[in-house]
Chain A
Amino acid sequence: MKRVALLAAAVTLYVVAAWMVAPGFYDGFGPPAPYNWTCPPAQAGANTKPGSGHTDFKVVGGVSDAGSAYDRDGQIVIGFLPGALDGAGKTTIGVDVTPLATCPQPPGIQFVTNVYQITGAASIVKAANLVLRYSNLEPAPADVYFASDPAGPWKGLGIAQQAQPFTVVTSTKSFGYFAAGYLSASPPPGAVKVGGGSQTLPIIVAVLIVLVVLSGIPLAILRRRQSHGQVEEEGDV
């Protein structure tokens, strides 16, 4: 009885502790930090608004330095090779990364990240590498989308092979607006479909509970019978 009570207390403690954080404390499969949302999904729990970032790239002899520009939260990083920015007549080139204050949802596309605006004081002349991190609370994106205006049109840039879990990588030759997502008409790619914004997870848990109850009853009866049998055998002796 003491053991059952302790287990019940541990279950209660766990449920309370787990309730206080966003779902998804995995064994290190997820992002290193919770995603900071512009428009947090309902299950996100406590949310910190995403931040922006600014980086200056030196220009020597008309050639811009290599380097990366990123937001405060490390949710989007754009990397430049030497000479990737048009440095003619400049000594430095500033690049700004800013999360869009609104959350556009263009028809047919479901974004799973914030929309970020990347601007630069010079144009891109060599393709820049773009890495976006996404949350474990949303389906994995199938593409990175780009637009020169948040109202659209949005076009897919394609994604390179996934480098790390919960990141997508692409390349761009233009500054503008970027977000990762998938075509809303198609199912989320590359994921074990356990949830997906539907009620699948609660159903799975309910099925597990029913399985436990249905399996537990006959097992308990069997055990009780075996126990009675042993008592009778002991009584016979």
Chain B
Amino acid sequence: MRPISGFSDCAPRSRMHDAFAPLLVASPGSGRPGSPNLSSRFSAASLVLQRTHPAARVALVGAYALCVEWARVSIQAQPGLAIAALVMGGIALGAVAFGTPAERLGLGRSRIGLRIVGGLALGAVLLLPAAARSGAVPLLPVGLAFAAIAVSIGEELAFRGALYAALDELGGAPLAIAGSTVVWTAAHVLSHPPAFLGAVAAAGLLLALWRWACRDLVAPIIGHVIADLAL
């Protein structure tokens, strides 16, 4: 008998469908032999990544995500490069999940309704402290709003997706939750004043716990997008 309570098992592995598999799983090389195209090269790189030792994969994925985040923050400080840096940073972060099976990332179509509702609930929780204080005015310029969506999805795929999966394989859920939260917080060191990092870490912990409790990444993506658009 399956549990019926809340979101405690909203995406069991046995029923996971690879909703995003066509996007994430390495495609067969479509280039001619001897002249591999970008996709096949990328597929080969991701295949190598998947076959490395879990500890090495954790180090590679973590270091890559940190480098991308810090580079993004440095580049977006340059005049006129903010939106481009955000969008490219989001894409670069999302790319680290390329080749990882969708079920290991927590992406799937099973109980998609619950996942979406969960995402709305996470969004509401993330916005609650701002909303409770009347007059909190989250105002994101329109151009940045689109960039915010790219970065939100990219960050979730990288931190609660690929990095969480690698840490989970290395040391189980406690390491995955703690490790992804620590790296996520470190990734925001350059973009946030020190006073904000506690709240950033708490948000990362909440999203990682959701990822663990529901084996789901759809809700963290939705919640993160909502929060970034509003905050």
Contacts and interface: CB of A to CB of B under 8 A. Distances in A.
A201 B139 contact: no
A195 B136 contact: yes
Interface in A1-60: 1, 3-4, 6-7, 10-11, 13-21, 23-29, 32-34, 41-43, 46
A25 B198 CA distance: 10
A227 B2 contact: yes
B139 A192 contact: yes
Given A23-B138, A28-B76, A165-B141, A204 B206 contact: no
B134 A139 contact: no
| Chain B interface, >50% SS class | helix
B19 interface: no
B200 A23 contact: no
A208 B123 contact: yes
Interface size class of A (residues with CB under 8 A): 35 or more
Interface stretch (B40-48, B57-65, B125-133): B125-133
Given A27-B152, A165-B144, A202 B126 contact: no
A97 interface: no
A195 B137 contact: yes
B164 interface: no
B134 A25 contact: no
Interface in B172-209: 188, 190-193, 195-196, 198-203, 205-206, 209
Contacts of B140: 26, 29, 191-192, 194
B68 interface: no
Contact of B213 (A6, A199, A211): A6
B137 A219 contact: no
Interface in B98-116: 111, 113-114, 116
Nearest to A231: B1
Nearest to A205: B131
Interface in A112-144: 136-140
A25 B196 contact: yes
B79 interface: yes
Nearest to A190: B141
A223 interface: yes
B23 interface: no
A216 interface: yes
Contacts, number: 218
Given A1-B5, A26-B228, A10 B205 contact: yes
Interface residues of B, number: 72
Q: Point out which of A13, A14, A202, A219 has the most chain B C-beta atoms below 10 A from its C-beta.
A: A14
A208 B209 contact: no
A231 B6 CA distance: 18
A196 interface: yes
Contacts of A148: none
B73 interface: yes
Contacts of A231: 1
A185 interface: no
Contacts of B133: 23, 42-43
A202 B155 contact: no
Contact of B199 (A25, A201, A204, A227): A25
A164 B99 CA distance: 35
A236 interface: no
Contacts of A227: 1-2, 4
11 contacts: A3-B209, A17-B202, A28-B192, A43-B133, A43-B134, A191-B141, A194-B229, A195-B139, A201-B137, A215-B117, A234-B1
Given A43-B130, A192-B140, 19 more contacts: A3-B8, A14-B129, A18-B129, A20-B198, A21-B199, A23-B231, A26-B228, A27-B152, A188-B139, A190-B142, A191-B139, A201-B127, A202-B131, A202-B132, A208-B226, A212-B120, A212-B121, A215-B120, A227-B2
Interface of A: 1, 3-4, 6-7, 10-11, 13-21, 23-29, 32-34, 41-43, 46, 136-140, 162-165, 188, 190-197, 199, 201-202, 204-206, 208-209, 211-212, 215-216, 219-220, 223-224, 227, 230-231, 234
